[in-house]
């Protein structure tokens, strides 16, 4: 980003001062800990009010700030743009900057797989375009505008991940970025606490089409009846992916080992593709990405190379080396029942020189369905394939009760979320070189702290 402060003021309908023509803003930040020289500081009110950190922002190099009406201005010694609402101003500025740079926009949502799909799409489009993609999990009403404003002026394609846990969120984000292509990876049970049913989750996911350009394309999972029903109501062009016979891009001959998964695509004369990830479920994400690539006319050979070695966001189904020589499959950013079942199944079938050990944390935001959905994981945890199970949290107690029918006490371990130190000690005492360990849980359980100790 590079804009004069006077232009930013005009975009936000703030009367610019003459001297602002000489002030150049090179980034935006709402966090003084990562703020860089030349930044526009945007204080937001969350657990703490960002306005209280204006001195830190100035000391770190902020050249100007947005300032929400009603806050004390006496401590502000840099130019300030006073606005009614800082968050709305952030989103408005992002919309203005997006129209100015005018890249092609791909917006991606789904209960599972949106981050992996985002990474694959960025790799594919990166073969021909200058691409900017969502960093880490910046996929909400703050993260999306921040991603937009982090674009370089030469950005040709913007790949945006969009998350949601309430109705209206995807509507707002979609209208903000006005995608050329919208992607829905799948409908699962994530955030079912707030929606009640998968039908309502599907309704909420379809909000991604609310800002889709009239000549845009919706790409969706054609194996999901809930999406097939709903897409009939939109005017834009659609295309599908999946494994059933009636989809536009169909995977077959899926073969997965402990490091990678290969598959063919029926519509492309049985072209063979390889992704550096385990699990047939990741093929679905690859199909979504290939569908985007096809829309942008990326040659098949280029797409094959892109997904063969794409950069995967940290902690998404990532193999790591443990301190004792064990292999660790880290998938600790988030969790929901469908995602957990898929990764447990894939891990259970992956080759190992030693034991298979799984560490499962609570799956959050399941509401009244929590007991049933935690218990359901027992169906895919097979004592013939899994040697030991470590459970961390409160809700996994339901799973522990189910697993007690299959595992003896020496192979089933339950810990409170506050007992991670004991969990780590017990894990380390069991792990040997050659073992394989899976860590899977919702971010709120913070299994990444366990991972850090193991590696």
Annotated binding site for ATP: 110-116
DSSP reduced 3-state for 37: coil
Helices marked H in 51-196: 54-60, 86-101, 114-125, 143-149, 169-177, 192-195
Q: Other C-beta atoms within 10 Å of 227: how many?
A: 21
Measured in degrees and rounded to the nearest 5, phi and psi for residue 200 equal -70, -35
Rg of the chain taking only CA atoms, in angstroms: 24
Which residues are part of a known binding site?
A: 110-116
Contacts of 270 (CB under 8 A, 6+ apart): 252, 253, 264
Task: Check: CB of residue 321 under 8 Å from CB of residue 399.
Answer: no
Measured in degrees and rounded to the nearest 5, phi and psi for residue 230 equal -75, -30
Q: Where are the beta strands (DSSP E) in 311-435?
A: 318-321, 327-331, 356-361, 388-392, 412-415
Dihedral (CA of 293, 108, 227, 253) sign: positive
Task: Check: CB of residue 110 under 8 Å from CB of residue 183.
Answer: yes
Task: Check: CB of residue 134 under 8 Å from CB of residue 161.
Answer: yes
d(CA 436, CA 49): 44
Please calculate the CA angle 433-438-442 and round it to the nearest 5 degrees: 145
Environment class of 180 (CB within 10 Å of its CB; exposed 0-12, middle 13-18, buried 19+): buried
d(CA 98, CA 134): 14
Helices 114-125 and 281-295, axial angle in degrees (round to 10): 40
C-alpha dist (Å) from residue 256 to 84, 303, 439 = 54, 19, 19
């Amino acid at each position: 980003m590079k804009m004069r402060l006077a232009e930013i003021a005009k975009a936000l309908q703030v009367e610019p001062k003459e001297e602002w023509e000489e002030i150049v803003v090179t980034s935006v930040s709402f966090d003084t800990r990562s703020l860089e020289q030349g930044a526009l500081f945007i204080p937001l009110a969350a657990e703490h009010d960002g306005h209280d950190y204006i001195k830190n922002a100035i000391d770190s190099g902020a050249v100007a700030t947005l300032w929400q009406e009603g806050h004390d201005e006496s401590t502000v010694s840099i130019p300030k743009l006073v606005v009614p609402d800082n968050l709305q101003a952030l989103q408005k500025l992002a919309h203005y900057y997006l129209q100015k740079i005018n890249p092609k926009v791909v917006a991606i949502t789904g209960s599972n797989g949106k981050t992996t799909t985002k990474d694959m799409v960025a790799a594919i489009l990166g073969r021909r375009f200058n691409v900017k993609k969502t960093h880490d999990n910046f996929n909400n009403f703050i993260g999306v505008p921040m991603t937009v404003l982090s674009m370089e002026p030469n950005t040709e394609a913007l790949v945006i991940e969009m998350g949601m846990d309430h109705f209206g969120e995807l509507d707002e984000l979609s209208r903000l970025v006005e995608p050329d292509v919208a992607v829905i990876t799948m409908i699962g049970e994530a955030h079912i606490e707030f929606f009640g049913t998968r039908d309502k989750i599907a309704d909420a996911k379809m909000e991604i089409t609310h800002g889709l350009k009239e000549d845009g394309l919706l790409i969706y999972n054609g194996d999901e009846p809930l999406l097939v029903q709903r897409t009939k109501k939109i005017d834009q062009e659609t295309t599908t992916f999946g494994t059933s016979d009636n989809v536009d891009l169909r995977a077959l001959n899926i073969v997965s080992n402990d490091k990678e998964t290969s598959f063919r695509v029926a519509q492309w004369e049985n072209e063979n593709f390889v992704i550096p990830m385990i699990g047939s479920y990741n093929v679905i994400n690859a199909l979504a990405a290939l569908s985007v690539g096809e829309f942008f006319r990326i040659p098949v050979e280029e797409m094959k190379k892109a997904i063969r070695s794409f950069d995967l966001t940290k902690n998404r189904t990532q193999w790591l080396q443990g301190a004792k020589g064990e292999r660790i499959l880290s998938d600790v950013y988030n969790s929901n029942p469908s995602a957990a079942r898929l990764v447990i199944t894939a891990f259970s079938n992956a080759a190992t020189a030693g034991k298979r050990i799984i560490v499962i944390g609570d799956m959050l935001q399941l509401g009244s369905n929590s007991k049933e959905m935690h218990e359901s994981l027992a169906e895919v945890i097979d004592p013939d394939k899994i040697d030991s199970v470590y459970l961390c949290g409160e809700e996994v107690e339901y799973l522990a009760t189910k697993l007690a029918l299959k595992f003896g006490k020496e192979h089933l371990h339950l810990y409170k979320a506050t007992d991670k130190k004991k969990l780590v000690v017990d894990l380390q005492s069991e792990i040997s070189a050659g073992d394989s360990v899976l860590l899977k849980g919702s971010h709120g359980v913070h299994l990444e702290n366990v991972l850090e100790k193991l590696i």
